[in-house]
Each structure stands twice: as C-alpha cells, then as structure tokens.
Structure 1
C-alpha cells in the first residue's frame, strides 16, 4: 500500500493541469478494485441467489480488502483538499463531486423501478424504500463523504491532529450505532484515516518500511492467510455491524479490521508489482486509464444495475456454466455502458458534472485546438 501511494500528491480533477501528473499506478489499483466490486456483486446476485455467497472463498477474499483499500486510497488522495481548502470549500467541492452524480443515478434508478415494478399505495412505505435505495445502494459514497467531513473537522486542530485522529477512530469504532449504513462508516473510517495519515508523512513511512519490507510482507501474508481461514459469516460487517457486545463479537470485529488491514496491504503490494511488470501492456493500461479513471460512474451504474436485479423476479439458470455466462455478459455490459457514458458526456459542460461528478476537460485535451 505504501509503495503504491508514494508518488501521489493529491486528488486531481479531469480538466485541470494536475491531471497530467496523476499516478497511473494508483489508477490501476482503483481499476482493479472497481472490477472486484462488480465481480463480488455478480457472485452475490448471479452465482448465488440465496445465502450461499457468505461461504464462497472468492466472495470472502474480495470482501476482505476491496472496500477498505478503496477507502484508504480515498483518504490518501483527499489529503490536499483536507489540508489546503477551507471547511466550506472542501465539503462543498466533495459534495458536488459525489452527491450530484449519485442523486442523478438514484433518480434514474427510481424511474426504472417505477416503470418496471408496481408500487404499493402506502406512501410511508414508498418513502422508506426510497431512502433505503438512496442510502443502501450507494453506501460507499455516503461513507466517503462522512469520513471526509469528520477528518476535515478534526484537521482544524493541526497541532494535535494525529492523536485526535487516532482517538476518533477508537470512538467511532466503539460507537453503538447499528442502523442504516452507520456500521459501514464505522468499518471504513479507520482506513480513510490511515490513508490520510500516510499522505501527511509518506516520506517518513516509506523510509521506515523500506528497510523491513521483506519482513513486513511476509508477516502480512501470514496474517492474511490466518484471517482468511478464520473468516466466517459473522466476520462480515453486514452481520456483526461493528458492534462489540461480548467476547465473541469483539473477536469478530477485531478479526474483520485486522484481516482487512493485512489483506489490503498485501493486495496493494501485489497490484503495484503487476503495474511495474505490465504497465506497457494494453490490458493493464486499459484498466488504469479507462477503468481506474471511471471508478465513480462504474460504481454508480453497477449499483443501479444490481439494485434493479435484486428487485425483479427472473428465471435463474440451473447450471453453473449458464450462471457464469450470464455473469460475464452482465459484467461486460455494465463496464461497456459506463465507459460509453463517460466518453459521451465528459467534454460537455454541466452534463459531465451531473453524470460523472467531474468538470469537462479543456478543448485542447478533448482533441480540439486550443485558443492561443
């Protein structure tokens, strides 16, 4: 994780001069992670339509690290905005980047559900369903925004921020909040803080870990394997809700957090190795440039697709081959639609902000001559 994040100096927005300086290794990480998000949902909604996915070793492996590592990267690349912008500007910019496109895709989701599915006459039930769709479908968006807001507020106390940040991680992890998406925020907040903290002192951390890197990798690998073998249904955040109420629940929460940290570190190092070896390969560069720089719209579209899939009744394929084929077709369709949407609207004012959460690129970057 440390090597992967080492050369990144902050988040960039398409259309700004800093975009040319973005670290493609980090984009490669994000590209692989968003692919794993889609694969994890395909396992859940296509390969298993019952509770069997909890025991899938592939599902278990993906869910050990993909969202924690995503949140750590989010904390890292948010460092510049958190430290340099005012509270109102930082939160306003982040809300425009995340909430505006999320609300757009939520509106499409509700429109599609209204057209495809009959609604109950109960108004209160419809409102609750709408709130569940907005919060549950895109919980990572809300978690990233809340984590950003909390760290920004804490960063006001610059002199004591490291200790305050550490204390906040403990307090939030122990908070007895188990409704809605609060458990998911409690689960991902430590990783956002970890990424943010490393961004503040990356040179120091890099120099410390470089000397012991082989030992650290070996230790993290062993820890990851042990946690993988011990991981069970109650270890997932969706089931333990990050709630410590007795010794067994404390073990489940600790295993979840420790296992996720170890697996995130190992997978980040593996992604970095893959990038170093294959960065001249077309597939690898496609993952970095196309997938890694489209993670938000990919996340939004796949969330909409799987929420719709969960709401409708359809004939399930009876054999594994058919299920794998259906999963492959659906996954490819999600990626294709997302990339087509991004290429279509990324250079159009207002639409790029509304649909993608980004500002349009300058004309010279969009393939048109620049004014002199």
Structure 2
C-alpha cells in the first residue's frame, strides 16, 4: 500500500523530511477494523513526532485524524461491519492515517457524520476528542454551568471546536483569544462571546469588558507565556487546563487561589487501554450527532489536495509557522 513516512535529517531546514513509501497492509488485532483511508487532517502532534524520529521504527506512518471505509474486521469486532464509513483519531503507539489502509481499534471510532463531506469530517476527530475530554472529563463542566471560561488560542484546531462545544452544551460565557483580524473574525463566527488579543495583557482586557474573572482557563498553546497572567486573572478556586508542553511550569503560585491544574492528552485511553477506552467511541458518536444537528460546524480551513509527502510537507510547514487557522485536510491517494 502507499504511505508517507519520514527520514532522519537533522541538518535540513525541514527537520526529518517526509517521504512516499510502499508498505505492507497492517495485520489486525481481534478488536481492530481495517479502514481504507479516504481523508485525513494534520495536527501539531504530527510535526512533533516527525521531529523526534524513532530510529527503531524507520518506516513509521504518522497521521491521527481520518475518515474512511471499513474493508475488513477482526474476529472479535461487534460494533461495525464491512462497508461502514467511520471517523477517528487513532492511537499514538500505532501507525497512523497517512496510508491507504489503517488498522484501528473499534472502541475508539464511530460512524462519521452523515451531513458533511469526508474532508470536512476528517478535520474534527482529534480536536473534538481533546476539547471534549478537557471540558467535560477533566474540568468537569456540566450543561447548567454558568460563569466565564477563557480559551487561549481560540483559532487553532482545538480552540475552534472547544468554542462550539461550549456554546452547544453549556451556558458558559466564552472569552477566546486571537491576534489577527482574520482569526478574530473566525472565532467570533464560531460563537465566541468575546474575543481578546493574546499579544496584549489578558487581565486588563477582561477587566475592560466588565467581566467576572473566569472560573475556567483552557490554554491550548504557549502556556508558559501566559502563566503569570493566568495566575492573576483566574477566579479563586478556578480550574486551569492545558494540552501543550511548556518548557517550564511552576504551579506553586496557583496555591493561594486553590486553583487545580488539569492535563489532557487524548491518546491516554488508547495508549494504556484504559477501562473506559470506549468513551472515545461515545464522544465521537455524540459529536457526529451534533454535526448532523447543525450545532457544530467543521473546522476545515485549507484543503491541500491528495495525500502524499509533498502536500503533507506543506501542511507540516504551515503548522510549524504558527499561522494556521482551523484545520488542514488532504484527501485521496
């Protein structure tokens, strides 16, 4: 089968370049389905893994967002059948979706939304699961919750779906950050109640809007840049959630406000085969229903053509530039 892998090259300006390869189809475990991949999207995790190349697996395939058709099922699969169209975000410990065929555990997939295209659907799984798990599993926000939440990095993939989930499922007032007119307009379109500029002092901007201090802060990127501001702006007994990898992070200043810190990695359930691994199937199923009910829009922003090394390189470079808005999608081989 066709696939895209990457090679060791630390001297290149594009570290560890992507390459087109041929690889054997994956062998299924008993709970796996084999998916013929039709559309994928690209996430920051793809670029992080590429840069930290694992020489013990020289033909590793990246990609953790996909839509495709099931063409084979493992002997213990009970929820899906050949011909089903599914979507998922995969498992960090296994080969990804940058290939014609991918093996994936049935407990972390669901049927794709019926009302949007494959490309539009491929933009959502990883970011939707990440946002959902942070908001509802880690921060424990419920449907009757009121007050304010601040989302730092509202125009990125996770931020842009988190805004929509909050508006669809809670009564919270959503304050989201962006710095360019284009991205400010984007997150306002997605439903943010207030948009502030993360290149300026966040606390001052929130106060100027006569808003109460947010009970929740969800930081999606560059958390170390905002720590001191978050300490001041978050409400006492608030909750801070983050998904990035700060180079340093001193949590002690949060003690005086009794603020709790919550990490989210959407691969935890699949990496450790947790007892609740099938929660990701349930999350994707509910998100698909929200999409089909037109309560959530796809966050697809750019379609870069077919799935190959050259087009994926463009997607990786755009993500690494820090100027991406929404999600980048590729489709077909």
Indicate the TM-score class for this superposition, using the shorter chain for normalisation. Answer: under 0.3
Greater per-residue strand proportion: 2
TM score, norm. by length of structure 2: 0.25
Higher relative contact order (CA 8 A, sep 6+): 1
Greater per-residue helix proportion: 1
TM score, norm. by length of structure 1: 0.23
Say which one has the larger Rg.
Answer: 1
